[in-house]
């Protein structure tokens, strides 16, 4: 599944980042890396943008970008 499919409050592990190098390096620089875990903190109206927390950093990203992050949902 991909990040954009998650709902507020979901936790997940990042499996893969399917992005071209600009986006990937940008994500990497924020600590979004294969193997890291994240939590969805919230979504804006119509889920155009979403907020995630990773290693204490809060990040906002667009739906387009969230679609490129493959994740595995963690069950609490």
Rule CB under 8 A: which residues touch other proteins? 19, 21-34, 41-46, 48-49, 51, 55-62, 64-65
Q: Which is nearer to other proteins, 1 or 58 (CB)?
A: 58
Strand partners, 73: 12
Q: Which is nearer to other proteins, 15 or 59 (CB)?
A: 59
CB of 39 to other proteins, least distance (A): 11
């Amino acid at each position: 599944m991909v990040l954009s499919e998650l709902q507020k409050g979901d936790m997940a592990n990042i499996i893969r980042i399917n992005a071209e190098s600009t986006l990937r390096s940008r994500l990497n620089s924020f600590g979004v890396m294969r193997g890291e875990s994240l939590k969805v903190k919230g979504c804006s109206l119509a889920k155009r943008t979403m907020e995630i927390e990773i290693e204490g950093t809060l990040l906002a990203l667009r739906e387009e970008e969230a679609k490129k992050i493959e994740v595995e949902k963690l069950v609490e």
